[in-house]
Structure 1
């Protein structure tokens, strides 16, 4: 009997010592925990490749498994039903605005997490180790509470060909409109077309110009009210009608269907500048692997408008499911991806922008760092000019006609107010 009782006692002790009882769940030790991450990337994309490598390294270092489910952009359709069904999803990602607005009720607040330090942040807190501008934007998008962790930041800036600038004798990037005009004149004199645009970015082009002429608030009012009677609209027409006559903007811009301008003109080395995102080098690296990229903020245009301190910027972002059973481990992986080695690797492989303050920037986007660091005013995408389909369509039609000369400044103004 004693032997039998002893055997039973040993079995009970063994069961109590198992992970099911030590800590209350099968996730008692890091080596047995799994974080399920639904990703917006495809497995073969640069971002997907880096994420997979990082997850493997993370497991080796921490014992925590990160199970990545690559959804691609279909995540916009697949995530909601999965969350509603209670499927095990610990991390998901997408655009910073979309995650907050579409899946906000599933987001775990992160304010307590970002106050702490982690292995890749050293003695600094997480919030002190990453871009303050992006954290502020994420908090704003979350209604005043930080619910997502941004990564893969971007800024909407002028991406330019440094070799073409050098050929034209341009030694500094323009900050004022007079300097911009001077740069355009030098480029044309050197036989180089200064700037182009595709149909996909015409509304943003128009919005940026108006914000520099009339200010942010007034520009947003025009966009949202479909009302363009402000004198800045006529001034825009005068500027770009004149620029088109001088050859400062490509004639092809009037008919460029995305991505014709960025491939056939920018990548081909025929045009020097494009008001676009810091994602442009990655988008056309296959067409222009050796292009010598630079970046500067759209110049100030007048006393009533915004200056180079106002720009559109954003990011993708990670969100943690409020129902996750492994939120600490999920945030640990997020820190791993947004600071240190893997933040730099993600930026390098995607020719993008890192999130960490101490992370390494790819040379293709390095000049955008100064712009982001000195941006104090955030502007919404296209400064609102894509909010209404009718406005977007009106801009594309009439700006194309302005470039071609079939509308003069007065005609453009009248057409925008029909």
Structure 2
């Protein structure tokens, strides 16, 4: 399956953050790694052995071993791989190579200064290509993957967020996608008037609800502005005319009945499956949407993508990839494998077999993601939820999600949202001075 919300690192991020903060306080990460023979390496992966990404990586491991003589011991740990890495940062045996999504890596290895500087990997040649890793991986995705100028992750999969719809059922939207918020709301109003459900949303998933509010704010205010609002220790920075205008637009989605019936009482994945069956027009989701709903999609369903409209339109993009703990015994062997995996014959299978986008723009995207690939090439990229999860550990759960759920579900108005968020945000910063 694709990296989907229910199995993504968000559900274990809070635990990882707690562990990382403890490690930081203890001064972990000061000692350098090495000491191995670099003729072998241990790799702990976020994938289960039966998943498409695991099969692609396993095939690359076999080829790497045959070509280099380096033995790779792989453990398919699953999404909670970093929960097993974190305790070892205190002094236990660590893997030489780990893969995971950016946010959990930032919360653990980066937060504890326990990561290896991967500058050497980016300067290395992708075997047989005549190109460096830095020339293969688009720098568009690298802006958030550094600490103090030192890269901590080499991405091999890109996750983009936006609106998905059935191109077969909505050819006019494919031909002329909405570029402004009024154009989108006109489509939603038309859908409602014609007796359809405009938007699918499983409202029991707080970050799915937040995709709407933060996404519309990012489109209106520009990337990074939501994170700035969350930084305010009084919580009152949100109360401005421009923010209020956006919040009103989000509030109106439920007020005008644009969400599918039952969205606020559903249990994931009920509503998104109804969308795949043609019972709603749009789904705001990450690029796992096609692979996650494909088995439920009605016959003839064709996945199309359009960026969430806004005056400062952008694509929220997350990455997942490889990192190396600072105390890894065989870091050079791990770096060698990273560069090896970025060969077209291996990285390309993330698209052709795992059906996901890669960070190499010269590789073709899977058919379901061609619209997303085009959008990421043409538009600025931002961080999913504007980086709230990684910038302020615990903030979304303690402050933003509770207030936002009430707004999106139509249980509070803009004033109520602002009052509740200000109170929760101020309390959050009192505890995190």
Q: TM-score, normalised by structure 1?
A: 0.79
What residue number does 1:143 align with?
A: 148
Measure how far apart 1:198 and its partner are.
2.1
1:119 to 2:127 alignment: yes
In 2, are the aligned partners of 1:353 and 1:361 still within 8 Å (CA)?
yes
> Helix, strand or coil: the match of 1:318?
strand
Residues 1:276 and 2:285 are matched in the alignment: yes
Q: Indicate the residue corresponding to 1:47 in structure 2.
A: 53
Assess, with a 3 A threshold, how the Cα gap between structure 1 residues 334 and 231 changes in structure 2: closer, same or farther: same
**Distance in 1 between the 2:62 and 2:265 partners?**
46
How many Å apart are 1:215 and its aligned residue? Answer: 4.4
Structure 1 residues not aligned, in runs of 5+: 1-24, 302-306
Q: Does 1:91 align with 2:97?
A: yes
CA distance, structure 1, for counterparts of residue 71 and residue 98 of structure 2: 16
Asked if 1:413 is matched to 2:418, the reply is no
CA contact (8 A) 2:254 2:409 kept: no
Shift of 1:369: 1.0
Structure 1 residue 43 displacement after superposition: 1.3
Pairs within 5 Å for 1:189-208: 191-199=195-203, 200=205, 201-208=208-215
In structure 2, stretches of 5+ residues that fail to align are: 1-34, 390-394, 421-433
TM-score by length of 2: 0.76
Q: Deviations over 1:371-402 (max 9, x none)?
A: 22234352352563863523211211232126
The structure having more radius of gyration, on CA atoms, is 1
Say whether 1:220 aligns with 2:200: no
Aligned to 1:371: 375
Aligned to 2:168: 163
Counterpart pick for 2:141 among 118, 134, 140? 134
**Aligned-partner Cα distance in 2 for 1:165–1:289:** 14
2:356 equivalent among 352, 359, 366: 352
Partner of 1:61: 67
Give 1:11-410 correspondences, 5 Å limit.
27=37, 33-87=39-93, 89-104=95-110, 105-120=113-128, 122-139=129-146, 142-166=147-171, 171-188=175-192, 191-199=195-203, 200=205, 201-216=208-223, 218-225=225-232, 226-227=235-236, 228-236=238-246, 238-240=248-250, 242-244=252-254, 247-263=257-273, 265-288=274-297, 291-301=301-311, 307-308=312-313, 310-381=314-385, 384=388, 387-401=396-410
The alignment partner of 1:209 has SS state of helix
Question: Whole-Å Cα distance in 1 between the matches of residues 226 and 326 of structure 2?
Answer: 38
CA distance in 2, matches of 1:93, 1:169: 37
Taking the aligned partners of 1:60 and 1:95, their CA distance within structure 2 comes to: 28
Larger RCO (CA within 8 A; separation ≥ 6)? 2
CA contact (8 A) 1:343 1:355 kept: no
Give the CA deviation at 1:234.
4.1
Distance 1:39 1:131 in 2: 23
